[in-house]
Amino acid sequence: MIPVLVALALYLAAGWLHARPEARRFERWLPLPALALHVWVLSDHVFRGDAITIGVNEAVSLFAWQSALLLWALCWREPLRVLGAVVYPFAALALLMAFALPTPLSDVTAGDWKARTHIVLSLLSAGLLTLAAVHAGVLAMQERLLHDHRMTGLMRSLPALQTMERLLFQLIAIGFGLLSLTLLSGMWFIRDWLAQHLAHKTVLSITAWLIFAVLLWGRLRHGWRGRTAIRWTLAGYATLLLAYFGSKLILEQILGRHWS
């Protein structure tokens, strides 16, 4: 319990500091021990003996940890500091949920390299696209406040709109590539997608992939930006969330089954 409380305190402190306009030297390192404690606590819930257990709460916590880790790494090169005001508190909440409400043991073995590959790719793509969705939300706020001439101190610390849009499409492009690999690896992992009740997840995942593909094509071909880019980003991410968590909720709460 103590590691969880320490991680929560560090995450919330990091989120509060990143919400302030002025940057402090030590805040760059503050999320690192929280990330280490997060993954240590979560590993006890996910890896139990030879099995991998990733229910809804564990999946949310892993997505949040992945997003927080990527944000911490990217902030050393790109001006994404303000995203920490959202990502780090969300990671704290996700860790608390996974710790307080663990999922029963599943039958996915850790020795299955195909399952491990699929899970790692899924986490990487989800983490980057989560960051992209948060970035799109901040970009929407920045655009609205600029239009209304009501920029706050925090918003003034953001890069120019053109830079924010460039960073958004960089996140989407990398996340789209990883999502493509995730879908391909799923072909190895899924033995019978009808018998495993995964038809709806497959359709929604492919739909999300198509939305991001169209968005990237629109950017390259027609220079899509601003509200168009934001709407397509959030639509693709919402579809991806529905594919993963909607499927998990149906399987675990209604059908009483588990999969990763």
User: Considering the entire predicted model, what is its pTM?
Assistant: 0.79
Q: Which residues, in sequence order, are bridge partners of residue 52? A: 47, 108
pLDDT of residue 192: 56
Asked if 88 contacts 64 with a C-beta cutoff of 8 angstroms, the reply is: no
Q: How distant, in Å, are the alpha carbons of 13, 147, 172, 175, 217 from that of 224?
A: 37, 19, 13, 18, 9
Provide the residue ranges of all domains of the chain, joining segments of one domain with +.
Answer: 1-110, 112-260
pLDDT at 58 exceeding the cut of 60: yes
For 36-76, give the secondary structure using H, E and C. HHHHHHHHHHHEECCEECCCHHHHHHHHHHHHHHHHHHHCC
- Percentage of the chain beyond pLDDT 70 is 79
Tell me the pLDDT tens digit for each residue of 80-103: 888 888 899 999 999 999 888 777
pLDDT of residue 260: 45
Q: How far is Cα of residue 130 from the mean position of the Cα atoms in its chain?
A: 3
Which two tokens mark 73? 């790494």
Determine the average pLDDT of the residues in 186-215: 77
Asked if 169 contacts 219 with a C-beta cutoff of 8 angstroms, the reply is: yes
Tell me the pLDDT tens digit for each residue of 118-153: 777 887 888 889 999 999 998 998 888 877 767 666
Which two tokens mark 115? 């399952």
Asked if 72 contacts 35 with a C-beta cutoff of 8 angstroms, the reply is: yes
Higher pLDDT, 166 or 191: 166
Q: For residues 227 and 233, what is the distance between their CA atoms, to the nearest angstrom?
A: 10
